[in-house]
Amino acid sequence: MRDLNYQLKQLCRHCREGSYATQAKRERMLTLIANQLHELGYRGMRARSLKPKHIEALLERWREQELSIGTIKNRMAAIRWWVNKVDKRNVVARSNEHYGIPDRRFVTNESKSKTVTQEQLEKVKDEHVRMSLELQQAFGLRREEAMKFQPSFADRGDHLVLKASWTKGGKERVIPVRTQEQRDVLNRARRLAGFGSLIPSNRNYVHQMRVYEGNTLRAGLSHMHGLRHAYAQNRYENLTGWPSPAAGGPASKTFTPETTRGRPSGTAHHQPRAWS
């Protein structure tokens, strides 16, 4: 293993900040960055060898690859974490604007929703991964939540309770169980997991994440966070009576007291913690 790859891996192993998913993602990004620096001709580098010229070369490569603004910003965040750990903060400018990286658009009118069909699910060979995907689709769970999900704890009949240790930001969340389809998914999850989670007892979280990624890749599935978008759009329509803006519905700036007065009565006020 090259010195830079080894030292970055050791940094990640000794500085365990963030969730398991965040740590794994950071390590993958830094490994990719080390490999790209080697491909760009920077040989024999070590963790403290990084210079401004390396940042510029990486940015040029990423622009040639036409990577999204979000991907580039995530990689820059990983680099800033790296230089902070080796006390070389001045190597990287504090602002992405310095490199001409524009702001990411968090709100758009483009739908990112996705669904998985039964035929696609059948291509996922691992039954725990398949069940996690079903939970993601039925309840809008994040990937980590769907993997750590313990049906025996979460299922409270007419709603689910997600432990703080499962969720992004470490906040407990409540999700309503509204349909028979959701109940069927929960019943199958209970039978599979028993009193455990959707991570088999012979695997840890990191191992299961690799199994998840491998199974979805081989099944031709990607961007499964889109299942959460689809759930949010369906929930929005259920609460308001019209499609979300991303799904072709009216923009929020067009709302008036008269238009909102006609929304369906009920669930929005009875489940204040159901969706955040």
How far is CA 210 from its chain centroid? 14
Contact by Cβ (8 Å): 31, 9 = yes
pLDDT above 80 for 260: no
- Structure confidence at residue 275 (pLDDT): 45
Extract the tokens encoding 92: 């990287």
Q: What does the alpha-carbon distance between residue 55 and residue 43 come to, in Å, rounded to a whole number?
A: 15
Phi and psi, residue 160, nearest 5°: -110, 145
What one-character DSSP code corresponds to residue 155?
A: B
The predicted-structure confidence for 167-187, as pLDDT tens digits, reads as follows 987 889 999 999 999 999 999
The predicted-structure confidence for 50-90, as pLDDT tens digits, reads as follows 999 999 999 999 998 888 898 999 999 999 999 999 999 99
Q: CB-side exposure of 183: number of CA atoms within 13 Å?
A: 6
pLDDT above 60 for 220: yes
Q: What does the alpha-carbon distance between residue 39 and residue 36 come to, in Å, rounded to a whole number?
A: 5
**Unique residue bearing structure tokens 């993602």:** 25
Extract the tokens encoding 19: 């969730």
The predicted-structure confidence for 154-166, as pLDDT tens digits, reads as follows 999 999 999 999 9
pLDDT averaged over the chain? 89
Q: pTM, whole model, 2 decimals?
A: 0.63
Q: What does the alpha-carbon distance between residue 134 and residue 188 come to, in Å, rounded to a whole number?
A: 10
Q: What does the alpha-carbon distance between residue 88 and residue 25 come to, in Å, rounded to a whole number?
A: 22
Q: For domain 108-250+257-276, which CATH number applies: 1.10.443, 3.10.530, 2.60.40, 1.25.40?
A: 1.10.443
The arithmetic mean of pLDDT across residues 253-264, rounded, is 65
Q: CB-side exposure of 260: number of CA atoms within 13 Å?
A: 9
Residue type, 186: L
The predicted-structure confidence for 86-137, as pLDDT tens digits, reads as follows 999 999 999 999 999 987 665 556 778 889 999 999 999 999 999 999 999 9
Phi and psi, residue 21, nearest 5°: -65, -40
Banded pLDDT at 141 (limits 50, 70, 90) = very high
